A and B are shown apart, each in its own frame.
Chain A
C-alpha cells in the first residue's frame, strides 16, 4: 500500500547514512507498567539518547485537594501510590496533625505502622513480581501475586477495600484492626515465607536473570543523590538513608530492623534491596504485633475527630459537632509543614499550607518515583531496548504517584 503523499518529501529527504532512528515507545505499551512515553534516539538497538515523557495520568491531585475539606483529601491520597495506599494516607495525616500539633494515641500509631508495613510488602511484591514476569519468570510473578492476595485480604478486612482504602483520618484512623487480624497475619506470613524462599531459589543465582539485570541501569552514588533519589533506588547505589531511621515517625524508633543496601546501583541491586526489605518489613510487623497496646485509635478531640454515631443521633451536641466537621472541615491553624515518611519508593513528603480555614490552601506531594523517572534518561543511555523494560520496572514508577 503506498504511503501518504504528504510523507513523500520527508521520507525521501532522510539520509540513508544517518543511522540515528527516532522512535517513540509508549505511552501505551504492553511491557511498561503505566503510561510513559520514551522518546528514543536509537543506533540500531542501542539507545543513544532518551527523553522520558510523563504526565499521561495527571489528574490534578494538588488542585482538587484545594477544593474540598481536609478529610476529603484522603480519597485523593489513596490514588497516589496505589500499590501502597495506606502509606499515602498516613503521610498526609501526619502532615495535617503536625500543623494541628496533636498526637495520635499509642494504639493509633501502632496500627498505622502495621498497615504501612503491610502496604510496603504489597508494593514490593507487585514491583518484584511484575519485574520478574517481564524478564520471563512467570512463576515468580504468580507466586508473589499469590502472597500479595493474602495481604490484600488483610487490608480489606481492616479498611474495607483492597486498594482505595481511605483509611486514615486526621487524628487517628477510621477502623481499628479486627479481632482475627493477628491470626490472619500469621497465615499470610506462612505463605509469604514460602514464596520468598522459592523466589530466592529461582532467581538470585539464575544465569538469565543475572544477565538481564546485573550491570544494567547503573546510577553512581553522587548522581543518585543529586537527582534526589531516595528509597530503594538510593540504597541500591550504596547510600544508607531511610526516613524511618533518619527522622523516625510513628513508632519506628522502637523496632529493630535493618536497612538493606546495594553496591553498584544497577537493576540487580534494586531487585535485591526490595527483596530484602520485604523480610525487614516482616520483622517490624512481628515486633509491632507482639507489643501492640490496647486503647483508642483516634484522639479524643471533638474539633478534629467525628463523634460516634450514637452521639450524633441522640444528642444535639453530637449532631452539631458532626455538622460542623462535615460542612466546614477541620479548622487547621494557618501555617505550613513538610512532613516526610518512607514510602515504598522512597521519601514521600507532603508540603501542606493552611490558611486557617477548613480547606487546604496548598497540598504538594513530593513523589519519590518522579525523581527516579528524572534519572531514568541517564540510566538508559548506552543500553538496549530490552533494558528499558527491566530498568523501568525496577524504578517502580507508579503512574498515580509520578503524575498525580
Chain B
C-alpha cells in the first residue's frame, strides 16, 4: 500500500496521512516539505516525476489558514499522492519546488497571484493571470467576487518599458 510505504520511509516528517475516495494524502509541515517532495520525485520506489497540480485552499476560520496542495503523479508507477502543507495566513510563504519540477514555475506564480502565498526560492515570482496593477488576491475568501478594481493609468511603453524578467 502506497500510504504505508510512504509513512514507513518518511514517517518522521509526516504530520498525518489518510485515504479517502480511493486517494491517498499526507500532511507535512512547511519546513520539511521541500526535502520530502524532492525525495518523492527522485526515489525509484515512488518516482513521482510529474507535478500534476499545485494549488491552495483558503480556510479562513482555521489556524493555519491556507493549505498548499500538491497533487503528484507518477507516469511510470501509475500512482498518485496528495501532499498538503498548512501555511499560516499572517506568514504566508512556502519553499519553491521549481528545483524539483519545472512545472512548479508557473503553478507557483498562479498560487501567488490568486492567494498571495510567497514561494521562496522562485526565480521570478510575479502575477501570471492577472495584470500587475491588480490589487488583492482574489481566491481568498475575504475577496468579494463583485469587487471593482481601480482604473490603471495609461503607461507609455517607450518611456516606461516593462522590463522582461528572464
B5 to chain A, nearest CB (A): 19
Known: A64-B145, A226-B101. A51 touches B21 (CB 8 A): no
Q: Which of B6-14, B30-38, B87-95, B127-135 has 4 or more CB atoms under 8 Å from chain A?
A: B127-135
Question: A373 to chain B: which residues have CB within 8 Å?
Answer: 106
Q: How many residues of B contact A (CB 8 A)?
A: 44
Q: Does A289 contact B (CB under 8 A)?
A: no
Q: Are B55 and A58 in contact (CB under 8 A)?
A: no
Contact size class for A?
A: 35 or more
Question: B131 to chain A: which residues have CB within 8 Å?
Answer: 55
Q: Does A155 contact B (CB under 8 A)?
A: no
Q: Which residue of A lies closest to B84 (CB)?
A: A336
Question: A10 to chain B: which residues have CB within 8 Å?
Answer: 158-159
Residue from the list A54, A223, A340, A361 in contact with B52, Cβ < 8 A: A340
Question: A66 to chain B: which residues have CB within 8 Å?
Answer: 145
Known: A7-B159, A366-B53. A227 touches B102 (CB 8 A): yes
Question: B3 to chain A: which residues have CB within 8 Å?
Answer: none
B3 to chain A, nearest CB (A): 15
Q: Does B15 contact A (CB under 8 A)?
A: no
B96 to chain A, nearest CB (A): 14
Question: A55 to chain B: which residues have CB within 8 Å?
Answer: 127-131
A-B contact count (CB 8 A): 113
Q: Which residue of B lies closest to A375 (CB)?
A: B102
Q: Are A223 and B102 in contact (CB under 8 A)?
A: yes
Q: Does B78 contact A (CB under 8 A)?
A: yes
Q: Does A99 contact B (CB under 8 A)?
A: yes
Q: Which of A117-125, A171-179, A294-302, A345-353 has 4 or more CB atoms under 8 Å from chain B?
A: A345-353
Q: Does A39 contact B (CB under 8 A)?
A: yes
Known: A225-B49, A228-B52, A349-B71. A54 touches B128 (CB 8 A): yes
Residue from the list B69, B128, B156, B164 in contact with A22, Cβ < 8 A: B164
Known: A54-B128, A58-B130, A63-B138. A22 touches B161 (CB 8 A): yes
B149 to chain A, nearest CB (A): 12
Q: Does B150 contact A (CB under 8 A)?
A: no
Interface pairs A-B: 5 shortest CB-CB: A228-B103, A55-B129, A374-B106, A58-B129, A226-B102
- Report 9 cross-chain contacts, Cβ distance below 8 Å, ordered by A residue: A4-B158, A55-B127, A55-B128, A101-B21, A228-B52, A247-B80, A337-B23, A340-B52, A374-B103
